Structure 1
Amino acid sequence: MPNPLDPSLATLIERHTGPVKQLRPTEHGRGSDLTALAETEAGAVFVKAMRDRGRAGGRRDSLLREIAVAPHLGGLAPALLWGEADSGWVVGGWEAAEGRPVDLRPGSTDLPAVVDVVRRVGELPLPEVAEDWPEQRWDRFVAPGEEDLFAGRALLYTDWHPHNFLLGPAGCWLVDWSWPTRGAAFISPALLVVELVAAGHQPAAAQGLLADCPAWSGAPAAAVDAFAAAHALMCRSAADRRPQQPWLAAVADAAECWAAHRAEG
């Protein structure tokens, strides 16, 4: 393998791909120890790998979830070709998909494709593997008992970053399923509302874009209100902990804008 790489990881990858002619790190996905396109005789494969340090949680478990959920995504994401944990690594190989990030700004012609992806996420059945992945990240930001409003049996996608959409000739892919959870169906579209506000939409307009998504339109207003308030608190807490990352403050501003809109009724 031409690029410098841990020999045990190189062996593990080539066990599935055959000889790798070139390994090209991707621009995004720096939360993993490796995200790269492996050029092989059979074509390109997207590879993601994390060291297995023998500790539960964190990025290791995130990649294990991404591998486990991949067969259940109904064509929304590139196909998983293989996944394995061995030799101190967790590694997965996916079909290499062509596409560009979406533009979430008002007036973008990408918005219908984005909304269609959100609708399709809401239609996914909950796979058995996700039964033990209850969503709990917002529980500490609500009053006791309110966390029940966020419980449910929907498979959730919670990272609606523009770079996690790949819009190309084959349609729109949704990539980086690195922390799927089980919860109330409205949570996935609610998180996209915040991304839309961050991209320049007014809260009412952002919500209106999702009017035809059953996971959103059928949500109890009180549950969405509670979630908006909890999400704003969580985002501001994250921004305050990491002031050197201004994008966190921008997301917190958008979340607070949306929460204020919900509170106004």
Structure 2
Amino acid sequence: MDDSAAPVGTAAVPSVPHGKTASRLEWRFLPQEVRALVEDELGSPVVDARSQTAGFTPGFASLLTAENGARSFVKAASRVAQPEIAASYAEEARKLVLIGEQVPSPALEWFSKDESWVVLGFEAVTARPPRRPWRAADLTRALDLAETIAAATEQVPAGLDLKPLYADLPLLLTGWKDAPAAWPHRAEAAALAAGLPDVPGNQRFVHADLRDDNILFADDGRTLACDWNWPALGPVWQDSVDLMISAHGDGVDVDEVLAARPLTRDVDPDHIDSWLAALCGFMLSARRRPSPMNSPHLQTHSTWYAEAAWSWLARRRGWL
């Protein structure tokens, strides 16, 4: 990225192709022993495999239908070829075993973790993701989901061994050191980000990755969150604010929404600004890394979120 660059706004950043951001391994390329394991769980051979193209990881993720009509959403990754993805899938399975009945998530029906592959089988849910740009009804439903997760995890489930998100991702506190030289109000934003550990209530359970591509609006009326790899400790309103950042980037008046929602309406504005500054700095640092070949839109995603978080923060602080 150009180190002299100043903010340009989300409208000037190429939009990621929502729902088509992942380049994933397909069913026919899985090793025979992995396919045999899955077909044993389903009870008959797979006759249809529909690779899921949302998200930013290259692990296998496909909706599978077997000859006997059984269906499963299967995620898989090689411990050798994709060690980070495999580890995150194994961690997702561990966490869902502990919290799966508490939180609104597609059910984890089975999983296998051997020396070579991690394979997870989820309930197959007929659903759609929220539409982008955000519509008011979809945003309301997504924020309802964030509040449902918060209510279900008021007591952090035992055994999760969660850490504050800023401990898992130190760049939330230090990312502004990588901000372009021409970026305005760097010192003020860096100070806000560095103050994140002092935000009250930083010990609540948060999903920490609640984006539109991790939300399902099921045909049966449920609203579900996917990808439970990264839960952490944070302020109870963090997931809600994360959703509002993307809505702000899409042109929604989120200050009005923030003032109306129960998790955000009474929060000290400086505390929300601290999180916006931390996330912006993190994304400014992340966008310096080139996109991997198997996730070609990751850098654009980081740039867009940095601009969206900055735009909202700057408006709130009177920096525009």
TM bucket normalised to smaller: 0.7 to 0.9
Pairing 1:1-265 to 2, within 5 Å after superposition: 3-22=28-47, 23-29=49-55, 31-40=57-66, 41-53=68-80, 58-71=84-97, 72-73=99-100, 74-103=102-131, 105=133, 107-125=135-153, 126-136=156-166, 137=169, 138-141=172-175, 146-149=195-198, 152-171=202-221, 172-208=223-259, 211-214=260-263, 216-242=264-290, 245-264=299-318
For residues 109 and 21 of structure 1, what CA distance do their matches in structure 2 show?
A: 37
**CA apart distance, 1:254:** 0.5
> What amino acid sits opposite 2:262 in the alignment?
C
Q: Which residue of structure 1 aligns with residue 6 of structure 2?
A: none
Tell me, what secondary structure is at the counterpart of 1:163? helix
Q: Is the 8 A contact 2:60 2:75 kept in 1?
A: yes
User: For 1:160-192, what per-residue CA distance to the aligned partner results, in whole angstroms no more than 9, with x for missing partners?
Assistant: 332322213222222222322222222212211
Higher RCO structure, 1 or 2 (CA under 8 Å, sep 6+): 2
> What amino acid sits opposite 2:137 in the alignment?
T
User: Percent identity over the alignment?
Assistant: 22
**CA apart distance, 1:119:** 0.9
Q: Is the 8 A contact 2:42 2:70 kept in 1?
A: no
TM-score by length of 1: 0.84
What stretches of structure 1 of length at least 5 have no aligned partner?
Answer: none
For residues 157 and 277 of structure 2, what CA distance do their matches in structure 1 show?
A: 29
User: For 1:40-59, what per-residue CA distance to the aligned partner results, in whole angstroms no more than 9, with x for missing partners?
Assistant: 22521000011113997x32
Q: Is the 8 A contact 1:33 1:50 kept in 2?
A: yes
User: For 1:79-107, what per-residue CA distance to the aligned partner results, in whole angstroms no more than 9, with x for missing partners?
Assistant: 11012211401111000011111125465
1:157 and 1:132, CA in 2 relative to 1: closer, same or farther beyond 3 A? closer
What stretches of structure 2 of length at least 5 have no aligned partner?
Answer: 1-26, 176-189, 292-296
1:218 and 1:82, CA in 2 relative to 1: closer, same or farther beyond 3 A? farther
User: For 1:129-153, what per-residue CA distance to the aligned partner results, in whole angstroms no more than 9, with x for missing partners?
Assistant: 3223431222334559724235733
For residues 140 and 194 of structure 2, what CA distance do their matches in structure 1 show?
A: 36
1:124 and 1:75, CA in 2 relative to 1: closer, same or farther beyond 3 A? closer
Q: Which residue of structure 1 aligns with residue 23 of structure 2?
A: none
Q: Which residue of structure 1 aligns with residue 5 of structure 2?
A: none
Tell me, what secondary structure is at the counterpart of 1:217? coil
Q: Is the 8 A contact 2:133 2:247 kept in 1?
A: yes
For residues 127 and 197 of structure 1, what CA distance do their matches in structure 2 show?
A: 32
TM-score by length of 2: 0.71
Q: Is the 8 A contact 1:49 1:89 kept in 2?
A: yes
